[in-house]
Structure 1
Amino acid sequence: MKAWIGLMSGTSMDGIDAILVTFEDRHIRIHATHTTDYPSDIRQRLASLSQNRGTPDDLGELDHATGSLFALAATSVIEKAGFPPASIAAIGSHGQTLRHQPDGSKPFSIQIGDPNLIAERTGVTTVADFRRRDLASGGQGAPLVPAFHKAFFSAAGEDRCILNLGGIANITHLPADNSAPVTGFDTGPSNALMDAWCLDQTGKAYDKDGAWADEGIVDQDLLGDMLSEAYFSRQPPKSTGTEKFNLEWLKVLLNRHPDLAGADVQRTLLELTAVTVAQQIPHFPGMTIFVCGGGARNRVLMRELQRTCSPSRIASTAELGLDPQWVEPVAFAWLASQRLSGKPGNLPEVTGASGERILGAVYYA
């Protein structure tokens, strides 16, 4: 049976999750996992470059540096699994998104993490650059993981929603009627804004368990200003990123609310995520919302989602057999398998592409 590796680093820019898996029908067997954290200087440079603060040299150097770290993550998970590289069919590397601008006359999405380095240093064929073919065909290039959700998490006769709480939150509705179209899109900010504010105010990279937010109270005036953002009322297909929802966006709003305590701002950001998910998610009787991504570990966010999304039940993707941290890395391992099998990796009804497309460029070992 062929083995596959998935590599994922999201908009939170905190590190690279690597997983080595095998697929058998709808069963996923995990053989090893590994996380490679970004050094603080790399994370800071990535954050700066993602906000257009940098030079072409910075881009080139970071492409090489992140490519080296992605290769390290891959070799580490290979060693943990004890698999010879020759037994691994391919690595699916999402790369590190720097800018995602799918709208306008010249849409683009930039992921770095040189796949040539990954293939060269691991000796394993690497598939990367998954988003741009969907963009070329008129799609958003995101979200791509709904195709994986459909393949592994759908259930006839049961409405399910997969909620990924990464730097940006996105949803996939898997309808009870398997012949009905899947829907999916980015709802707005999740961890990225909360992490940015936490780092700015406390020096900590994130608010563990949502404890700091839980010390604050929601400021309804600030929340109202946030909810006036036009993105939230746009109809899908749509996707977004830290190009829009970043610390500068927040601080412009805070100019109108200069006396708020830091914890109150953090609690209001958390409420923004809970409310915008609830407002945009489809609601069906008996539907369960299965949560994945780093936000699944935020106890307060999970509590508030249960309130805002009621009567739908909030649960973890662990109930579906896959730990919340590893859903997206497994998805990119699967997308690599789709690419090498000559099968499409996008859902046009989700991304808005003109049709199904085979995604990813192949870098042979």
Structure 2
Amino acid sequence: MTSPLYIGLMSGTSLDGVDGVLAAFGDGDAISSTLAAAYVPFPDHLRADLMALQAAGLNEIEREALAANALAVHYADCVAQLLLQSGKPAGDVRLVGVHGQTIRHRPELGFTRQTNNPALLAELCGIDVVADFRSRDVAAGGQGAPLVPAFHRAVFGDDAESRVVVNIGGIANLSILPAGAGQGTSGFDTGPGNALMDGWIQLHQGRTYDANGDWGASGEVHAGLLAQLRDEAFFRLAPPKSSGRDLFHLDWLQAALLRVGAPIAPADVQATLTMLTAATIAEAIEGHAPDARQVYVCGGGAENAFLMRLLRQALAGRAGVQSTAALGVAPNRVEALAFAWLARRFDLRLPGNLPAVTGARGLRVLGALYPA
């Protein structure tokens, strides 16, 4: 019997583009193979439009609708690349699972919004689409995030070793995977991942991200600024918790800089932001997964050598730190694979959330179907 094929598409809080994978699934939750992977970058104007939608503004409904249409075109482009690479026709793919682009995340107010036009995507690619994965969990009283711990448990869990998987995108989140059959799996957002670092280098150097962390590594961590940043109440909240650009944005950073008072060199600010990400991840691991001996990192942060070095230093003597490549999955494919997996869970009408992670009242089937 041919293994069923699913596509996963992810565009995260880094707002850089779309990651996509075409995966085959075997029995249960097992991924039997990844047939293709593709990345479609966002043009500058779309990235700017999506960034502007992170905050209230004029004519938001029309601007969001136009951005959603543009996103669907980029998602369809990614799907086309995956089919071309794999040599598979659209008819061989059961479902496309697409996350959409988070523009507001306010579970405390009962909503989360991932802008998208899944109906247009289904029309463009000729494949059934599953979207809006987070809303069902929020409707059940949950945070709607993070959703990846259930996937991490299925793919990266180990009978003999307690592990932590850390996804460092715009926001960082971790999944705690105790040894054994997944009992006690938990996870939560730890705070900013790359979002503040990306915003700061864009402001000062016109670049969208700090390649390899070189600019941050050229500066010195400012202890006073780090203390101001770490005083944020979110870091002291007990899980379940999730966050986004609604909280961690450049205005939040500028307010901390004003409290410090003295001017700080931009490269030193970048070094401090990198340390903030590493320190808050390490503190979360120490507080909630003290028996974990291996930490596996995915997302764009895994490509930041300076950040990885700081994280290793923060966890020295407690846990080893490496990317998910050590487990056979490239770090830039993990989240897209998660949404292929969630699409399969929807297809089988199986739950995709973990109430212990999100705080929902129970297990829920996640997503909404848009037939081709």
Once the two structures are superposed, what CA deviation does each residue of 1:200-224 show, in whole Å capped at 9, x if it has no partner?
0111111100000011101100000
Query: Which one-letter code corresponds to 1:49 in the other structure?
Result: L
> RMSD of the alignment, in Å?
1.1
**Quick one: structure 1 residues 3 and 177, their matched pair in 2 at CA, closer, same or farther if it must change by over 3 Å?**
closer
Query: Which one-letter code corresponds to 2:113 in the other structure?
Result: I
Which of 17, 20, 23 is the matching residue for 1:18? 20
Once the two structures are superposed, what CA deviation does each residue of 1:271-329 show, in whole Å capped at 9, x if it has no partner?
00011011111344461000000000000000000011222000111111100000000
- Are the equivalent residues in 2 in contact too, given 1:70–1:113 (CA < 8 A)? no
Pair 1:59-2:64 in alignment = yes
Match of 1:307 in 2: 313
Match of 2:228 in 1: 225
- Are the equivalent residues in 2 in contact too, given 1:48–1:54 (CA < 8 A)? no
Match of 2:326 in 1: 319
For 1:108-147, list aligned pairs within 5 A. 108-147=111-150
C-alpha distance in structure 2 between counterparts of 1:16 and 1:37, whole Å: 6
Indicate the SS of the match to 1:50: coil
**Quick one: structure 1 residues 227 and 32, their matched pair in 2 at CA, closer, same or farther if it must change by over 3 Å?**
same
Which stretches in structure 2 are left out of the alignment for 5+ residues? none
Pair 1:36-2:40 in alignment = yes
For 1:1-365, list aligned pairs within 5 A. 1-25=3-27, 26-55=30-59, 56-103=61-108, 106-178=109-181, 180-257=183-260, 258-281=262-285, 282-285=288-291, 287-310=293-316, 311-365=318-372
C-alpha distance in structure 2 between counterparts of 1:23 and 1:284, whole Å: 33
- Are the equivalent residues in 1 in contact too, given 2:157–2:182 (CA < 8 A)? no
Query: Which one-letter code corresponds to 1:164 in the other structure?
Result: N
Task: Report which stretch shifted further, 279-288 or 147-156.
Answer: 279-288
Query: Which one-letter code corresponds to 2:233 in the other structure?
Result: A
Indicate the SS of the match to 2:333: helix
**Runs of 4+ with >6 A deviation:** none
C-alpha distance in structure 2 between counterparts of 1:178 and 1:22, whole Å: 23
Once the two structures are superposed, what CA deviation does each residue of 1:81-103 show, in whole Å capped at 9, x if it has no partner?
11011110110000111111111
Q: TM-score, normalised by structure 1?
A: 0.97
Q: CA deviation at 1:27?
A: 3.7
**Quick one: structure 1 residues 179 and 148, their matched pair in 2 at CA, closer, same or farther if it must change by over 3 Å?**
closer
Q: CA deviation at 1:59?
A: 1.2
Task: Report which stretch shifted further, 222-231 or 22-31.
Answer: 22-31
C-alpha distance in structure 2 between counterparts of 1:96 and 1:309, whole Å: 32
- Are the equivalent residues in 2 in contact too, given 1:172–1:185 (CA < 8 A)? yes
Q: CA deviation at 1:107?
A: 1.6
Q: CA deviation at 1:256?
A: 2.7
